[in-house]
Structure 1
Amino acid sequence: MNIIKTKNNGVFLSYYLNSKKKLEIAKLSQGISVVHLYSSQLALLNLKLPQLEEQEKLSGFLSLLNSRIQTQKKIIEKLESLIQGWRERIFSQKVRFKNERNSFSSWEIKKLKDISIRITTKNIESNKNVLTISAQYGLISQLDFFSKSVSAKNIDNYYLLEKNDFAYNKSYSNGYPMGAIKQLINYKKGVVSTLYICFRFHDYINSEYMKHYFDSGYHNVEIEKIAQEGARNHGLLNISITDFFDIKISLPSREEQTKIANFLSSIQEKIETEKKIIEKLELQKKFLLTNLFV
């Protein structure tokens, strides 16, 4: 660890070294497996600094922006905690919605195969929008997510999905111990690997309700029952298609599905709005750090 003592504004110097001088510092570093950076090397850096008064004004502005970003992150965290709390209470039926007659009928237990159909339509139209499942973004184009395509060269055998269809990725990841089920929202059509299990709900099922149901993780108990313990192949859960479509779903009436979906989606829309704000703040910070230290 190198400790830098300076008569300049330390906050400004930190921003300066971590943006404008970052590449130069990296070039000074030595070592193969363990990188070493000595104070004698840091002393070789040529710094072009403004007057102390200007340093203080710039650091104060950047600190204010950074504080705003941190506040925005806390707002999003609270909203995400709020929606997850509501999902848990709603899908466990601790909270029920009411209609004009004061209450809806009791929920039913349906098997997935009874309320949906499996999608096995191949990509005969040569659709190039290859999708992948992201925990944060759901079904998203590989080009948007990875900035490149990581699919096979021939994607004619991939499954073709339409907007509002669902896909299940049997690969477990952080936050998704039983894999992730996501709905196609952002595109009219797209294709996915045949490793995914794809399905479409019947018209009398509110697909938005099902999206929140799967986002809640409430279905994980059912999937855990059919996943063979210890039988994981390259990160994939060993779940047969037949067993997957036999999982049980808690289902209220269509009217209550709609009320639940509208309520949870109103919170989700607020989260998306707050995320757009933080994206703009991050872009502003990046722009300033790039252009302040020219």
Structure 2
Amino acid sequence: MAEDNYKKQTSLRGGTTRQSASLEHTKDRLPHSVRNDEHKTSLRGGTTKQSAQSKTRPLLPKLRFKEFDGEWKKGSLKKIAYTNPKTKELPDKFIYIDLESVTNGILVKEEVISIEEAPSRAQRVLEKNDILYQTVRPYQKNNLYFDKNGDYVASTGYAQIKAKEDSKYLFQFLHTTNFVNIVNRWSTGTSYPAISPSELIKISISYPTLPEQQKIASFLSAVDEKIQQLAQKKSLLEQYKKGVMQQLFSGELRFKDENGEDFPDWEEKRLGEVCLKIQDGNYGASYPKSEEFVEMGIPFLTSKALGEGGSIIAHKIDYISIEKHSELKKAHLALNDILFTNRGANVGAIGYVDSKISNGNIGPQLTLLRVKKQIESRFLFFAMSSYSMRKQIGSQDSGSAMNFFGIGATSKFRLKIPCIKEQQKIANYLSAIDTKIETLNQQIEKTQSFKKGLLQQMFV
């Protein structure tokens, strides 16, 4: 099976010891004070209480590898690194890194261009171990530790930083909450806030001895590697699911029944033929006013709550009172309903109604689809995001903000329907892939949270 491609052994490296890639094994290598009782956070050289009482608080991290002691030093970025060195002559051809090329510390786009077609912002000629710090919209934290060979040139939308000591340590420090907060405060502009290089180099950096810098950098780089491995697994699974869906809904790939026989041919039907109810949400005078939304109550979903891959974005769900819900009778949700975005920039986006929102209500940007008994709701959920359905939506979407798929237009969408048993097999198979993707999502979030805690405690 194709899923076997995702079972490769992963590992983390820190110092000279090879470790398992599991988060639990990563924690086994934590600095000294983490392995102690959670309540014992004092450090050698004075307890937290003593430090608080000192007139000058010593530069000591909360978490530290046991082989190191002594205070850290502090200096401006200008003191410990070279920033935006004098521009070298551009090579005839090179890979250009603009502000869209880096996402979450990963170089996601590599496009070779010639010097003749290079934009005027292509000025940062890169060398191995350089750091690219995003100075435009720095809150995005799309920074890059450059460790590649070859000719690369970056946009002046980045600051090019060359550390005088350990560049990986400095790269990690630039992502600490304190540093990022200072950068954001010092940035100017509204739509595209930016910090000037002359201001960036004034920000203070705290640092220990070089061996401790290297130890910290090695450990945190291992955590970064783990996050990247999980993200790559997720991406591969998403690509695999996309390919399988294309084959399933085009009929290239078919399941067999329990006797190994072919299922009956699929039948083409209109969406209105397979749904008990197709209903858009509430609008007009009864639509909740801003003061009618509450902190806790009945879930009220609009198109903003529908994310990628059919997900529901929990923190983008609004809430209304029971009384308001009773007033808005038009589109009460039920378990296993399917939500379809009928207008706007994300027209066609879908969501599945689980127990968390099954007592909810929806706004006019959404349409609920409630299936008949002979239809597996999860099958229709996946069918609504198939290539065939997206093609139908795209052919009728004018791109205008006012474009709208009403109940009549929605009910006319055509799709091919297999028998209920084959529907269930398809739904179960694709749901299993979704479960694996969600598990990876949770692992990524857990590891990112773990690293965030480390950044807060391993640096001063």
TM-score (ref. length: structure 1): 0.83
Letter in 1 for 2:231: K
1:135 equivalenced with 2:292 (yes/no): no
Q: Is the 8 A contact 2:312 2:351 kept in 1?
A: no
1:260 aligns with 2:394: no
Q: Does 1:108 align with 2:278?
A: no
CA contact (8 A) 1:107 1:250 kept: yes
8 Å Cα contact 2:266-2:416 kept in structure 1 = yes
For each residue in 1:267-294, what CA deviation from the matched residue of structure 2 results, as whole angstroms up to 9, or x when unmatched? 1211111111111111111111122224
Q: How far apart are 1:67 and its partner, in Å? A: 1.3
Q: 1:278 to 1:83 in 2, by over 3 A?
A: same
Alignment of 1:220 onto 2:390? yes
Distance 1:37 1:122 in 2: 47
Residue of structure 1 aligned with 2:405, choices 239, 244, 248:
239
Q: Equivalents in 2 of 1:29, 1:180: separation in Å? A: 35
Per the TM alignment, residue 257 of structure 1 is displaced from its structure 2 partner at its CA by 0.8
Q: Which has the higher strand share?
A: 2
- Check whether the contact 1:165–1:198 (CA below 8 A) recurs between aligned residues: yes
Instruction: Say if 1:206 and 1:10 are closer, same or farther in 2 by CA, change over 3 A.
Output: same
Structure 1 CA distance for aligned equivalents of residues 200 and 223 of structure 2: 28
- CA 1:208–1:51 in 2, change beyond 3 Å: closer, same or farther? same
Residues 1:203 and 2:373 aligned together: yes
Tell me, in whole angstroms, the C-alpha distance in 2 between the residues paired with 1:237 and 1:31: 34
The answer on 1:98 being equivalent to 2:256 is yes
Q: How far off is 1:78 after superposition?
A: 0.6
In structure 1, the partner of 2:216 is: 58
**Is 1:179–2:344 an aligned residue pair?**
no
Measure how far apart 1:71 and its partner are.
Answer: 1.3
Identity of aligned residues (%): 27
Q: CA deviation at 1:101?
A: 5.4
* Greater mean deviation of Cα atoms: 75-84 or 240-249: 240-249
Q: Which amino acid aligns with 1:181?
A: I
Question: Is the 1:223–1:244 Cα contact (8 Å) retained in structure 2?
Answer: no
Asked whether the 8 Å contact 2:343–2:365 carries over to 1, the reply is: no
- In 1: Cα distance, 2:406 partner to 2:186 partner: 54
1:98 maps to a residue whose letter is K
Q: Larger radius of gyration, structure 1 or 2?
A: 2
Q: Secondary structure at the match of 1:279?
A: helix
Per-residue CA deviation, residues 4-42 of structure 1 (Å, 9 max, x unaligned), is: 444331211222133132223444556777745344x45
In the other structure, the counterpart of 2:446 is 280
Tell me if structure 1 keeps the 8 A contact 2:220–2:451: yes
Q: How many Å apart are 1:191 and its aligned residue?
A: 1.1
Quote the Cα distance in structure 2 between the aligned partners of 1:268 and 1:85.
14
Could you say if the C-alpha distance between residues 50 and 209 of structure 1 is closer, same or farther in structure 2, counting changes exceeding 3 Å?
A: same
- AA of the residue aligned to 1:15: Q
Question: SS of the residue aligned with 1:18?
Answer: coil
Equivalent in 82, 88, 93 of residue 246 of structure 2: 88
Deviations along 1:63-121, one digit per CA (max 9) or x if unpaired, are: 11111111111100110010110111010001111111511111111111111122559
CA distance in 1, matches of 2:187, 2:431: 50
Q: 2:272·2:278 contact (CA, 8 Å) conserved in 1?
A: no
Moved more, 20-29 or 189-198: 20-29
Quote the Cα distance in structure 1 between the aligned partners of 2:391 and 2:182.
52
Which structure has more relative contact order (CA 8 Å, sep 6+)? It is 1
The residue identity in structure 2 corresponding to 1:167 is L
Match of 1:13 in 2: 170
Unaligned runs of 5+ in 2: 1-83, 85-158, 283-293
Distance change in 2, residues 1:265/1:228 (3 Å): closer
1:48 corresponds, among 197, 206, 216, to: 206
The AA in structure 2 aligned to 1:135 is G
User: Structure 1, unaligned stretches of length 5 or more?
Assistant: none
Q: Which moved more, 1:154-163 or 1:10-19?
A: 154-163
User: Cα deviation per residue 1:185-232 (whole Å; 9 max; x = unaligned)?
Assistant: 25232111133222200111111111111232431233345x3646x3
TM normalised by structure 2 equals: 0.55
Q: How large is the RMSD of aligned CA atoms in angstroms?
A: 3.2
Q: Is the 8 A contact 2:332 2:361 kept in 1?
A: yes
Deviation at 1:136? 2.4
Q: What is the one-letter code of the residue matched to 1:201?
A: V
In the alignment, which residue of structure 2 is the partner of 1:72?
230
> CA 1:97–1:291 in 2, change beyond 3 Å: closer, same or farther?
same
